[in-house]
Amino acid sequence: MRRILALTVLVGTIALGGSPAFGQTQFADLVVKNAKVTTQSHLQPSAAALAVRDGRFAKVGSIGDITPLIGPKTQVIDADGRRIVPGLIDSHSHFLRSGLTYTRELRWDGVPTLKQALAMLSEQAKRTPEGEWVRVIGGWTPWQFKEQRLPTVAEINEAAPNTPVYIQYFYSVGLVNRVAMARLGINQQSEDPKGGRFVRDSSGNPTGLMIADPHPGIFYGKIAALPNAAPDVEANSTMHMFFELARWGITGVIDAGGGGFRFPEHYSTAQKLAASGKLPIRASFFLFAQRPGKEAEDFSNWTNKYTAGWNFDPVKPNGFQLGGGGEYILWDAADFENFRSPRPDLPAGMEERLELVLKTLIKKRWFFRIHATYDESISRILDVIEAVNKETPLNGLRWSIEHGETISEKSVLRIRALGGGLAIQNRMIFLGDDFVLRYGAEKAKATPPLRTILDSGIPVGMGTDATRGSTFNPWISLHYLVTGETASGRKLYDADNLMTRAEALHVHTIGSAWFSGEEDIKGRIVPGQLADFAILNKDYFEVPVNEIKTIKSDVTVVGGNVVYGAGPFKALSPELPAILPEWSPLKHYGAYWSDR
């Protein structure tokens, strides 16, 4: 036993960058020097250099501490005074689904005026070939435009008279032009779906404006009807989507599934890329029940076949892994974040059906997460979790409420008592002005109650809910957490409901890692953790607050490998294949307005 303990100590010492056996120096694979390193460790909050070996941080400290680890094959990066932070983790996103269509979408993310957005639409319509569509699905809000309004159907028809166009604002409003209505078969005989409606003219003809009232189901079928791409285009698109995330310093995402996004068939593209080393960042994914009314059967089948934490990436640790169930584990337990319509009530009998699903997930030790926007929904969901816990104890199983914009302090404390967490997003940037118009500015001051949540001590993670919802840009989220501003510039929160920059970074890194059970290996720059970090183009802690929104990564590193480089570090960036298809909007506009 003494020999085993001694060997364990020796191996641990080497892993942490201590003196190796037999007096031999184990050189680092990668060293970064002349940096301002934010470690997020209380023992050593800052450093000037770091060393990486075998995909993990080997040593963090001064340049004097790191220099002895530089060998003849060590890659050395001079950060030239730049800020280094742990790689950002998006705790709630839909990037695996959006990756399949990313290169075929026109992104209005960050576009400052509706006039410019419509000009982009017109230009793209002219280059989009017959049989394809112009799609603007998520990442924008009418409140970001100088005009502060939605486009009209007449404006869309004028911009694209001959090419079908589908535009969606979050899960509130959809717009299609005349050509698109004909392709989708929307006409006078079309019945309004449950929870949604087609806006009609005086003669009863649909105008092209679709309203979720409040259910977003009116959009699901329309998106599903848009043409798919060949497998090679979807693979190319997914690769470029994840490379885009790396460009902003994101090194890990937690994917929340999605309606119509089925497992395992729709996950195979990303899985194959991960297996071949072409998915640059880590992904943990949760399974979204696909058959309303048969959720318990879905999860019974999945949990019998897979254990939570199953890694589908044969090369990269924690590279592409199954996290558990959610965010829809029961369709009847989900409300809708459409603040343009009144709050929906969850249906009667929801509790009994949710109980069946929860018992399956808890028995199989699958993490789970539940979508809930309003406190009224959260309270009923917590009633069920508390009841199930008495019969089938959670025993420390990770679980969370997702979103929680109007969550109360009472519900926060109930989550804490049950050992759960709360994953928040930046949706109020895009929807906050809608919320104010419906519920008032006073109510919006604590939507969500950031300080109450943070001070409660429950695990908190930050995400984007991209891309059919908000943008993929995490720095918009960080700016929102420290300012409380919407896309229109409206300040929602008083100073007592804001986070500091350090707190905001924490919830977007190690805080988010908790939700996939990885906080011991991700989110800090300390010896032994996975070497995922970003060298920023601007100092997050020193730039004026409004410049936080403009930050990008100059170098993004995952597992000690550079997956993105820009500016003076561009030569370090891996070479990507050309964007497909040839007519992709990304070739002309990039993914974000600042690219133009």
Encode pLDDT of 214-271 as tens digits. Answer: 999 999 999 999 999 999 999 999 999 999 999 999 999 999 999 999 999 999 999 9
In CATH, what number is assigned to the domain containing residue 512? 3.20.20.140
Q: Are residues 259 and 327 in the same domain?
A: yes
CA angle 558, 560, 563 (to 5 degrees): 45
Contact (CB, 8 A) for 320 and 313: yes
User: What average pLDDT does this structure show over 402-417?
Assistant: 98
Looking at residues 45-54, what average pLDDT do you find? 98
For residue 160, the domain's CATH number is: 3.10.310.70
Per the CB < 8 A criterion, the answer to whether 514 and 507 are in contact is no
**How is the beta sheet containing 30-33 ordered, strand by strand?**
56-61, 49-53, 30-33, 75-78
Does residue 108 share a domain with residue 70?
Answer: no
State the Cα angle at 326 between 323 and 332, rounded to 5°.
Answer: 165
Residue 246 domain-assigned (yes or no): yes
What are 12-46's pLDDT values in tens digits?
Answer: 443 444 444 434 579 999 999 999 999 999 999 99
Q: Is residue 93 situated within a structural domain?
A: no
DSSP H or E stretch at residue 456: helix 450-456
Q: For residue 62, what are the CA distances in angstroms to 15, 37, 489, 540?
A: 18, 10, 41, 21
Largest pairwise CA distance in the chain: 88
Question: Are 352 and 455 contained in the same domain?
Answer: yes
CA 324/CA 306 separation, integer angstroms: 9
**Distance (Å) of CA 277 to CA 270, 319, 455, 458:** 10, 9, 40, 35
Residues 364 and 501 grouped into a single domain: yes
With a CB cutoff of 8 Å and minimum separation 6, the contacts of 563 are 243, 246, 280, 281, 556, 557, 573, 574
Cα angle for residues 390, 393, 395 (degrees, 5° grid): 140
Beta bridge partners of 286: 324
Q: Across the chain, what does the average pLDDT equal? A: 95
CA nearest neighbour of 26 among 6, 46, 1, 56: 56
Sheet holding 36-38, edge to edge: 46-47, 36-38, 83-86, 533-536, 553-558, 561-565
Residue 9 pLDDT > 50: no
Q: What is the CATH number of the domain that holds 29?
A: 2.30.40.10
Confidence tier at 596 by pLDDT (50, 70, 90) = confident
Determine the residue type at 106: L
325 closest CA partner among 251, 249, 426, 399: 399
pLDDT band at 406 (very low <50, low <70, confident <90, very high): very high
Residue 595 domain-assigned (yes or no): no
Q: Which residue has the higher pLDDT, 326 or 6?
A: 326
Q: Please state, in angstroms and as integers, the Cα–Cα distance from residue 125 to each residue in 49, 58, 120, 164, 240, following that order.
A: 49, 51, 8, 8, 22
Task: Give yes or no: residues 253 and 349 share one domain.
Answer: yes
User: In this structure, is residue 593 part of a structural domain?
Assistant: no
User: Using one digit for the tens of pLDDT, what is the confidence trace for 212-224?
Assistant: 999 999 999 999 9
Range of the domain at 352: 231-518
Residues 236 and 284 in one domain: yes
* Region 116-125 average pLDDT: 98
Q: Is the pLDDT of residue 576 over 50?
A: yes
- The share of the chain scoring above pLDDT 70, in percent, equals 96
pLDDT of 314 reads 83
What pLDDT does residue 24 have? 59
Closest CA to 426 of 473, 388, 383, 488: 473
Q: Which of 210, 228, 246 is a domain's end point?
A: 228
From the list 315, 324, 248, the residue with the least C-alpha distance to 286 is 324
Length of the chain: 596
What is the tens place of the pLDDT at every residue in 417-453?
A: 999 999 999 999 999 999 999 999 999 999 999 999 9
Residue 411 confidence (pLDDT) above 50: yes
3-state SS assignment for residue 179: helix
Domain finish residue from 187, 202, 228: 228
Distance CA 135, CA 122 (A): 12
Residues 484-538 pLDDT 10s: 999 999 999 999 999 999 999 999 999 999 999 999 999 999 999 999 999 999 9
On the question of pLDDT at 343 being above 80, the answer is: yes
Contacts of 70 (CB under 8 A, 6+ apart): 27, 28, 31, 76
Q: Report the pLDDT value the prediction gives residue 10, as an integer from 0 to 100.
A: 38
Same domain, 496 and 382: yes
Render pLDDT for 460-473 as a digit per residue (tens, 0 to 9).
Answer: 999 999 999 999 99
Beta pairing partners, 86 = 533
User: Is 171 inside a domain boundary?
Assistant: yes
Q: Are residues 341 and 490 in the same domain?
A: yes
pLDDT at 362 over 90: yes
Residue 583 lies in a domain: no
Q: Spell out where 48-191 has E strands.
A: 49-53, 56-61, 75-78, 83-86, 88-93, 134-137, 165-169, 173-176
Give the model confidence (pLDDT) of 135-167 as tens digits.
Answer: 999 999 999 999 999 999 999 999 999 999 999
Two tokens at 249?
A: 């310093």
Q: Do residues 203 and 142 both lie within one domain?
A: yes
In this predicted model, what pLDDT tens digit does every residue of 383-404 receive, in sequence order? 999 999 999 999 999 999 999 9
In a domain, 86, yes or no: no
Mean pLDDT of 95-121: 98
44 contacts 524 by C-beta, under 8 angstroms: no
Mean pLDDT score, 578-591? 97
Backbone angles phi, psi at 450, to 5 degrees: -55, -45
Q: How many CA atoms lie within 13 A of 476 on its CB side?
A: 26
Same domain for 541 and 513:
no
Judge residue 65's burial from the number of C-beta atoms within 10 Å of its C-beta, 0-12 exposed, 13-18 middle, 19 or more buried.
Answer: middle
pLDDT of residue 372: 98
Same domain, 293 and 334: yes
- The Cα–Cα gap between 241 and 96 comes to 9
> How do residues 282-322 score in pLDDT, each as one tens digit?
999 999 999 999 999 999 999 999 999 999 988 888 899 99
Number of independent structural domains in the chain: 3
215 located within any domain: yes
Question: Could you tell me if 332 and 410 lie in one domain?
Answer: yes
Q: How many CB atoms lie within 10 A of CB 183?
A: 16
